[in-house]
């Protein structure tokens, strides 16, 4: 960070980068608030769009302008319900930031993570989450790859089945879902059908 020298934000928020007068792209902040002088972004550059090309051109020392922090996909510290996190592909970025922030602040509330990717390499933080299960007893990790343990290959269907299995009860539960619009709708349908209030499903849409 240069101006301002530090950025105050909450884990799970995002920034917007302008590429023209009417063209902006949003990127979740991958780092946590305990390092306000340095922020980290993670981007999927495979689509080859405007933002992907910008990331590929970046070099050390270049200046990047942005607006932020923005967004309300953040954990309410006064809400101590256990959490089910659901991430589809690059939607893992804000959820990982929230989980890392829970650990650095000593918040050990029960949390489960259902994480889907189209191929094994798409589970970009798989090793980190597996290691976390060994050090955080209240954390459970459920990775899912298309064509893997569930027959469904589409994220909405596969994650819907997995979340249904993981939540025999929705009492004292809150959900955070990040990914595509269809996945968000499917997870909300599954949980609301079990009795979870719609407002207890927080979401961040990536596409």
Query: Could you report the per-residue pLDDT of 30-71, keeping only the tens digit for each?
Result: 999 999 999 999 988 887 788 999 999 999 999 999 999 999
If phi > 0 it is left, if psi is from -120 to 50 it is alpha, else beta; for residue 161 that is alpha
Domain boundary among 70, 98, 113: 70
Structural domain span for residue 97: 82-205
Q: What is the pLDDT of residue 148?
A: 54
Q: What is the pLDDT of residue 22?
A: 86
Backbone angles phi, psi at 139, to 5 degrees: -110, 135
Per-residue pLDDT tens digits for 58-108: 999 999 999 999 999 999 988 889 999 999 999 999 999 999 999 999 998
Are β-strands 23-28 and 14-20 bridged in parallel, bridged antiparallel, or unpaired? antiparallel
Per-residue pLDDT tens digits for 106-148: 998 999 999 999 999 999 999 999 999 999 999 999 999 987 5
Verify that 126 and 147 share a domain, yes or no: yes
Number of domains in the chain: 2
Please report whether residue 49 resides in a domain. Answer: yes
Per-residue pLDDT tens digits for 148-180: 555 445 899 999 999 999 999 999 999 999 999
Please report whether residue 151 resides in a domain. Answer: yes
Domain containing 112 — which CATH number?
A: 3.40.50.80
Verify that 103 and 197 share a domain, yes or no: yes
Q: Which long-range contacts (CB under 8 A, 24 or more apart) does 197-203 make?
A: 200/81, 200/170, 200/173, 200/174, 200/175, 201/174, 201/175, 201/177, 202/72, 202/73, 202/174, 202/175, 202/176, 202/177, 203/73, 203/176, 203/177, 203/178
User: CA–CA separation, 106 vs 108, rounded Å?
Assistant: 6
Question: How much is the pTM?
Answer: 0.93
3-state helix, strand, coil in the chain (%, to 5): 30, 25, 45
Verify that 88 and 182 share a domain, yes or no: yes
In sequence order, the β-bridge partners of residue 130 are none
Please report whether residue 75 resides in a domain. Answer: no
């Amino acid at each position: 960070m240069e101006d301002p020298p530090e950025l105050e934000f909450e884990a799970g928020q995002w920034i917007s980068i302008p590429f023209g007068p009417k063209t902006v792209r949003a990127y979740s902040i991958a780092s946590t608030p305990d390092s306000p002088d340095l922020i980290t972004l993670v981007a999927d550059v495979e689509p080859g769009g405007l933002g992907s090309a910008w990331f590929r051109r970046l070099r050390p020392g270049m200046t990047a302008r942005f607006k932020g922090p923005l967004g309300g996909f953040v954990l309410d510290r006064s809400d101590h319900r256990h959490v089910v996190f659901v991430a589809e592909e690059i939607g893992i970025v804000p959820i990982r930031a929230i989980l890392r922030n829970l650990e650095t602040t000593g918040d050990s509330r029960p949390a489960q993570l259902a994480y889907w990717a189209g191929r094994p390499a798409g589970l970009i933080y798989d090793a980190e989450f597996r290691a976390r299960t060994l050090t955080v007893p209240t954390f459970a990790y459920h990775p899912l790859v298309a064509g893997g343990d569930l027959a469904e290959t589409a994220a909405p269907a596969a994650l819907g089945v997995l979340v249904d299995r993981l939540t025999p009860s929705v009492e004292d539960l809150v959900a955070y879902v990040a990914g595509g619009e269809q996945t968000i709708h499917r997870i909300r349908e599954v949980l609301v059908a079990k009795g979870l209030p719609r407002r207890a499903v927080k979401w961040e849409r990536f596409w």
